[in-house]
Structure 1
Amino acid sequence: MKQLKSIALALVVALGTLTATAQTTKKVDVSKSNIAWVGKKVTGSHEGTIALKDGALVFKGKKLAGGNFTVDMTSINVTDMEAGKGKEKLEGHLKADDFFGSEKFATSKLVFKTIAAKGKDTYTVTADLTIKGITNPITFDMVVAKNAATTKLMIDRTKYDIKYGSKSFFEGIGDKAIYDEFELNVTLAI
């Protein structure tokens, strides 16, 4: 009888440990999530949004353990200009081959590779980012609390063969220069 109790106790402990470290995948609610972008140039900036096509965060217990996302590059939207006043022209240029080539590269992907706890609800994530079929590593901090995750990414567009208006590649463009880095502010509903 003692041996049976010992086996039962060992089984309960083993199952409890297994449950505590089980992975859970939480799908991102794309309709409630938001990706806002900011691109800067010498003479100002432009901002807008881009839609998340799908995504998921993976948790081990309550700790972030993984993630992957697909962004719809055909959804590039300029929000700081009005229709008929340059908005459509800028959106078209951003979707053209000079920039994101969204006709050929309709999606971009982000796949988490390593995650380290940084503090309460904050993680440092290194991921592979693929834009225009080119993949490069990127590191950023992500805050995960309750049913949301937020992050700010700074992306060097020239690493993805987006060189239009870059002082790094074109000399003498003066005040027509567009900075190499653009910013993404991401809020995920999980």
Structure 2
Amino acid sequence: MRFPRLALALALGSAALAAHADPVSYKLDPNHTMVIFSWSHFGFSHPVAELGLGEGTLVFDEKDPAKSSVEVTLPLERLDTHVAKLDEHLKKPDFFDAEKYPVITFKSTRVEAKGSGRYKVTGDLTVHGVTRPVVLDAKLNKVGEHPMLKAQAIGFDATTTLKRSEFGVGAYVPNVSDEIKVQITTEGAVAH
């Protein structure tokens, strides 16, 4: 009787180690993902806008972060500044030209661990038909069972700063700042 229990314990232990050794794929949740960007408006104010997530996949390998990746789509139809006329203006050809370029995408090319749950995520950002490399400073918030979903979940925050003129969206620079600050928060659950 002792041998079968020991064999079962070893098998379960091996399965648990194998589960942690492989990359885990998560589907990002549009209801808990926010991409917020802000800029200076003639030096008087710092408006913000949010881009809603279309689809997103995060692959995370805790043991070997270099095997991790992230890929997201951000449809401009979900752009929200909380000012309807500004939403409309930002979608016009002098800014995002949403009719011609309806989606912003990000696809990572490299993930580097920086210690203490921090990561440098390099990837290709495509805005307005222009693709350029961008670096996100990311922080792992939590990995574990989500109490509401009853599934393995993950959450990250990330920041970066961009120059919008580098993506062909340079209207009104320098009065409306070229520099755009981006803050991201996201969570996702294991994709089945």
TM-score of Structure 1 vs Structure 2, range by shorter chain: 0.7 to 0.9
Per the alignment, residue 172 of structure 1 pairs with none
Secondary structure class of the residue paired with 1:178: coil
1:166 and 1:27, CA in 2 relative to 1: closer, same or farther beyond 3 A?
A: same
Secondary structure class of the residue paired with 1:162: coil
| Cα shift at 1:54 | 1.0
Provide the rounded CA distance (Å) in 2 between the counterparts of 1:125 and 1:103: 29
Secondary structure class of the residue paired with 2:106: strand
Which among 62, 67, 72 is matched to residue 70 of structure 2?
67
1:43 and 1:117, CA in 2 relative to 1: closer, same or farther beyond 3 A?
A: same
After superposition, the C-alpha distances for 1:29-54 in whole angstroms (9 at most, x for unaligned) are 11122122212122322112110111
Counterpart contact for 1:98–1:162, Cα < 8 Å: yes
Per the alignment, residue 21 of structure 2 pairs with 21
1:134 aligns with 2:130: yes
Secondary structure class of the residue paired with 1:77: coil
Provide the rounded CA distance (Å) in 2 between the counterparts of 1:66 and 1:178: 33
| Cα shift at 1:140 | 2.0
Provide the rounded CA distance (Å) in 1 between the counterparts of 2:31 and 2:165: 30
Task: Name the structure with the higher strand share.
Answer: 1
| Cα shift at 1:56 | 1.4
Paired residues for 1:103-182 under 5 Å: 103-146=99-142, 147-167=154-174, 177-182=175-180
Counterpart contact for 2:21–2:63, Cα < 8 Å: no
Per the alignment, residue 9 of structure 2 pairs with none
After superposition, the C-alpha distances for 1:50-104 in whole angstroms (9 at most, x for unaligned) are 101111111124554111111111221113xxxxxxx222111111111111111
Matching residue's letter, 1:56: T
Counterpart contact for 1:74–1:103, Cα < 8 Å: no
Larger CA deviation: 89-98 vs 43-52: 43-52
After TM superposition, the score normalised by the length of structure 2 is 0.77
1:54 aligns with 2:55: yes
Per the alignment, residue 78 of structure 1 pairs with 81
Larger CA deviation: 132-141 vs 61-70: 61-70
What is the number of equivalent residue pairs in this alignment? 164
Decide which structure has the larger Cα Rg and report it: 1
Matching residue's letter, 2:135: T
Per the alignment, residue 10 of structure 1 pairs with none
After TM superposition, the score normalised by the length of structure 1 is 0.77
| Cα shift at 1:18 | 6.0
Provide the rounded CA distance (Å) in 1 between the counterparts of 2:135 and 2:38: 18
Matching residue's letter, 2:54: K
* Aligned-residue identity in percent: 23
